[in-house]
Structure 1
Amino acid sequence: MQVLAGKYKKHRLQSLASPKVKPTARRLREALFDFLGTRIMEARFLDLCAGSGAVGIEALSRGAAHVTFVEHSTKICSFIESNLERCGISKAQAEVMSCDAIAFLRRI
């Protein structure tokens, strides 16, 4: 799996081999960001049930100012952090939260 476009294009991302984690399909990511277009520029993006972090990293690659990744599993959060490091994404641009997505939404 790799970043499709933007600053981090073609950076390879790790994914956890688990039946609980299925990376967002390439075509779905393409469709999402084609729809968002330039609205993603300088946006704050929320990646719930983030899995590998591919969607949020794609948002950063295409110009989002900041992404919050929310994932319940601490093990999966470590994969997201690893993918952020692989792309050279700073902690100022990304925050990885290990918590339930519904609980997170109730807090914001």
Structure 2
Amino acid sequence: MQFIDLYSAPMAALTLGDAIRPPSEQNALHLVQIVTERKLSSFNARALGRVSGAGPLSDPKVMDQACALLAEASLIRHVKERADGRPGRPPLLYKVNPVLLRATAPKTIRRGARA
């Protein structure tokens, strides 16, 4: 029973969680993973889709869907103005909510401290 409770059930939940999650959510989580691993406070979606490890996010339509999903959740915000101030299509520049970076930052434990 301990094996099932402590190992099998959590592993099944992880495996099945990915299987039943829609691809759009999986892509959004992958984008969150990239942003938090690189500790980005802002990013250009087009440039980020071109980096190695982007996987399905290298497709602009997939990246747009992932960004839209994260923007809807208020984890990122689209910057809708050009840096040069000229008219034209706004860049695919996004600001990352600082709460996202703090929430995923590794916790440091002091030596001798009790949990």
TM-score w.r.t. length of structure 1: 0.26
Q: Which has the higher strand share?
A: 1
TM-score w.r.t. length of structure 2: 0.25
